[in-house]
Structure 1
Amino acid sequence: MNDGFHFLDIVFFAMVAAFLVLRLRSVLGRRTGAERPPEQWVGDPEAVNNVVDLAAAKRSVSEPPNDSPAGQGLAAIRAADRGFDLDQFLGGARAAFEMILGAYAVGDKRTLQPLLAPEVYRHFADAIDARARNGETLFTELVGIRSVELVEARMEGSFAAVTVRMVSEQVNALLSHDGEVIEGSRDRVVDVVDQWTFRRDTKASDPNWALAATSTPEE
């Protein structure tokens, strides 16, 4: 955020952030009772309540065939984590996408840190700091999410990794210090395709997942 924000602006954004966290916690953060002891990627103990439990929000989805790579990967994850549910995971991924996108747009690093793996957080934080140095702001409006689909599932040692493809409609514009549009448009809705990978240590008692990689798949 810019240093020139007035006190009332700060209070307003704090209230908005608190509302988003409470809204997410109404569908996230519940435990199934079947979790096992993760190496936790949370850097700020006071931000633990912001960590997204991707195994806790519901969404309908068709299971991949059992003999497909994704199906075999899911079987391996379920063998390591008996509480894993794909429908609930994808619902949580959808909620995490909304929260991360919003926090990145307003430069809320405190909210982002417990949701991201360290390397991903560094990239996000560097981009936020670069905007601040240049006096730039990012205008982002998430119009809607068309689909959230499983791409890949696999075990990496004790870590479960699940990659999802999300198609959304967004309005994005990078603005200069005086409000002029540098990139994008504040009036045009565009289709955005993202591919995000979430990881969790299945030997850990905490059920939370962290965003470990992002990419834009080639069409």
Structure 2
Amino acid sequence: MNYSFEYIDIILLAMIAGFIFLRLRGILGKRTGFEGKAPEQFKEVLKNIKIEPQKKSNNIFDEQAQKEFIKGAKIAYETIITDFSDNDNKITNSKPLLDNEVYKQFSEALKERDSRGHYAEITFIGVNKAEIKEHKKSGNILNVTVNFIGEVITCIRDKDKKIISGDPEKIKKIYDTWVFSRDITSQNPNWQLVSILT
């Protein structure tokens, strides 16, 4: 009888071990797919596959840089134009966007307008189009010429609020060509308006 109990114990232990094995296989899975060395017939194919490391573009004004530039140029365009609608006839928000010569020209134009007792009303509608006409590098300086097509509502009034020019009810389309410049070696990422072409 003792022997029969031993056989039953062995059978029970074997069944438990089998159950555990099946459970582990179900949870962990089994080895499948190609995990060894490449078969001989693929070795020649694998020899011809070369993975080239991605090369960093040497062009400092590549397509991505141009897209980012245009976004900033549109903001600068709006900021500079709307700065002329301030009643104090002073350049405030756009001053960092202008180089010294352009800032001087704008300031003189505002002083002249102020001496006449005139002021501008400008409502900026938006930029219909902004595209890079050309970009040139001279030493460390990169100049980018941009064609803008914008829409504004604008008029000039005198001190009695009488309209001198423009129409406060009409949207006007404006065409501008501006040149922005930046020293590419500078830590300052900002561009400045250096010229307005006619």
The two structures share one fold, judged by TM-score above 0.5: yes
Moved over 6 A (4+): none
Higher RCO (CA-CA < 8 Å; seq separation 6+): 1
**Which of 80, 90, 114 is equivalent to 1:100?**
80
Deviations 1:142-178 (A, max 9, x none): 1121111110100122100001111011111111110
Structural RMSD (CA): 1.9
Aligned residue in 1 for 2:119: 137
Matched letter for residue 169 of structure 1: E
Task: Name which one, 1 or 2, has greater alpha-carbon Rg.
Answer: 2
Q: Distance in 1 between matches of 2:72 and 2:135?
A: 16
1:180 aligns with 2:147: no
Q: For each residue in 1:190-218, what CA deviation from the matched residue of structure 2 results, as whole angstroms up to 9, or x when unmatched? A: 110011110001111111110011124xx
Structure 1 match to 2:19: none
Match of 2:104 among 114, 122, 144: 122
Aligned residue type for 1:99: T
Question: Secondary structure of the residue that 1:85 maps to in structure 2?
Answer: helix
- The 5 Å alignment of 1:1-219 reads 79=59, 85-106=65-86, 107-216=89-198
Gap runs ≥5 in structure 1: 1-77
> TM-score, normalized by length of structure 1?
0.59
The question of whether the paired residues in 2 share the 8 Å contact of 1:81 and 1:202 is answered with: no
Query: For structure 2, which runs of at least 5 residues remain unmatched after alignment?
Result: 1-57
Structure 2 partner of 1:27: none
Give secondary structure in 1 for the equivalent of 2:168: coil
What TM-score do you get using the length of structure 2 for normalisation? 0.65
How many positions carry a matched residue from both structures?
A: 139
